[in-house]
Amino acid sequence: MKVAILGSGNIGADLMLKIAREPALELVMMAGVDPASEGLALARSRGHATTADGIDGIFAHDDRPELVFDATTARAHLGHAERLAEAGIRAIDMTPAAVGPMVIPAVNLAEHLDAPNINMVSCVAQATVPIVHALHRALGEVGYAEIVSTIASRSAGPGTRQNIDEFTHKTRGAIEKLGGARRGKAIVVLNPADPPPLMHNTVYALAEGDIDLDRVRAEVSTVADRVRSYVPGYRFRGPTLNGTKLTVYTEVEGAGDFLPPYAGNLDIMTAAAIAVATAIARRAQPAAATLAPRNGAVTS
């Protein structure tokens, strides 16, 4: 499937390197707005077509993509989404715009593969909502779930900082809608430590009724394996039980493609987006299903 990247910053550059390992995806263009950006320079050095005219450059290119990863801003994506939809080009939204349905591959990958616009929620949601989902599956009911995520300050760019409220609210919505908790809360902490720490997350959940801790462990382990299929550096500890409160700890180490390994919060977003695009490509082109998936990408 022919794809393009809109946004030549860190996220876009990391997406480019991950796409290169996926036989079901072909990058036809990297688009940005800064001709001197590192992402565009890297794309040119790897032989990819580039443009500094943003989405206009994508539409002007002879080799039209079937899907665009939008790694710009929420405000920009609102306009991009409309233009892409009119042109029949699918979008994977890496911003807080939330135009399309929320997708977390380990939770609901197969549900929205036909959607014209897919939203990747937030890095915090990608790392924690699968655990809440597993707890819900094991317990039947989760009255309240709270996540506390700590990321390296150095990995939080201006876009993340400007949209921190939107990311937090979206994550809370995902805890409830995809995780299954009746009420959710999300807290994000930017850690200025040097050297920068890995992404760490703590998931708290209040259980109702009887608790089968063995089943809880099994469900958490199963969903963690799903996440690891596209994010090998995803690890967890727990769950532990104190009264009716369950606690699970997760850690995310990035693959170190373009982003440094400590930026697991960014890596989990790009890896999840690639898993979604690969699944769409294989669904749209059955012949591609015979290709062996790389990086253990989730396919169903």
* Domain locations along the chain: 2-120+265-290, 123-252
CB 73 within 8 A of CB 159: yes
Number of alpha carbons in the 13 Å side-chain half-sphere of residue 36: 0
Q: What is the pLDDT of residue 160?
A: 74
Predicted pLDDT at 286: 61
Residue whose tokens read 């349905």: 101
Q: Are the CB atoms for 73 and 94 separated by under 8 Å?
A: no
123 catalytic residue (yes or no):
yes
Coil/strand/helix, residue 101: coil
CA distance 245 to 135: 11
Q: For residues 91 and 77, what is the distance between their CA atoms, to the nearest angstrom?
A: 10
What does the buried/exposed string (b/e) look like for 116-134 if buried means 16 or more CB atoms within 10 Å of the residue's CB? ebbbbbbbbbbbbbbbbbb
3-state secondary structure at position 261: coil
Strands 26-31 and 50-51 come out as parallel
The alpha carbons of the chain give a radius of gyration, in whole angstroms, of 19
pLDDT per residue of the chain (300 residues) written in tens, 0 to 9: 999 999 999 999 999 999 999 999 999 999 999 999 999 999 999 999 999 999 999 999 999 999 999 999 889 999 999 999 999 999 999 998 889 999 999 999 999 999 999 999 999 999 999 999 999 999 999 999 999 999 999 998 776 787 788 888 999 999 999 999 999 999 999 999 999 999 999 999 998 878 999 999 999 999 999 999 999 999 999 999 999 999 999 999 999 999 999 999 999 999 999 999 999 999 987 644 444 444 444 443
Q: What is the pLDDT of residue 181?
A: 97
**Coil, strand or helix: which one is 148?**
strand
Looking at 1, 19, 27, 123, which residue is catalytic? 123
CATH: 3.30.720.200, 3.30.70.260, 3.40.50.720, 3.30.360.10. Which one for 123-252? 3.30.360.10
> Structure pTM?
0.92
- Top CATH class of 2-120+265-290 equals alpha beta
- Partnered with residue 3 across adjacent β-strands are 27, 67
Q: What is the 3-state secondary structure (H, E, C) of 7-74?
A: CCCHHHHHHHHHHCCCCCCEEEEEECCCCCCHHHHHHHHCCCCEECCHHHHHHHCCCCCCEEEECCCH
Contact 23, 30 (CB under 8 A): no
Per this entry, what is the length of the chain?
Answer: 300
- Cα 90–Cα 39–Cα 10 angle in degrees, nearest 5: 75
**Among 259, 261, 297, residue whose Cα is nearest residue 280:** 297
- What is the pLDDT, as a whole number, of residue 156? 85
